[in-house]
Amino acid sequence: MPKSNAGPDVISVRIPSRLDLLSVLDHVAQALCERMELDSEESSKVTMSVIEAGTNAIQHGHNRDATKFVDIDFQIFPDRLEVEVRDLGKGFDIAMVNGDVTSPEHLFDLRGRGIFIMRQCMDSVDYTFGPDGTLCRMVKHRPRAAEAAGA
């Protein structure tokens, strides 16, 4: 990792809203996790979260309209990876998805687990809703040992 104060390395990906293109995000996220020397468990958490955020943008933000694009920025800092997923959707009521999806009354729900999974896997998950669409911002910190080694 560069030691300068020039800011993070940024990798930007833009895909049409097609579920079959989520594998592109998976490959990029996996490569960045390897670069950051995250172990396989942490890498799986990051890639799963990126796929969930991309799926939500495609299905809910764009209703699978392939003429609309999902923009993803991966920002690599010395101590963390920040991922921003943007769509043109109007957003949603975050309070409606804050419940416990593991409770007995929700065990057989067909939907509603994506944000829960992302929050369990990442260090933070935040949403911003505005006139230009929805932004999902996720952060995963590097383990202290790798950070101290200067990797």
Domain spanning 10-148 has what CATH number? 3.30.565.10
Domain spans of the chain, in order of start:
10-148
pLDDT tens-digit profile of 66-122?
A: 999 999 999 999 999 999 999 999 988 776 665 565 555 554 555 557 888 899 999
Q: Are 49 and 116 in contact (CB under 8 A)?
A: no
pLDDT tens-digit profile of 19-30?
A: 999 999 999 999
| Residue 47, φ and ψ in degrees, nearest 5 | -65, -40
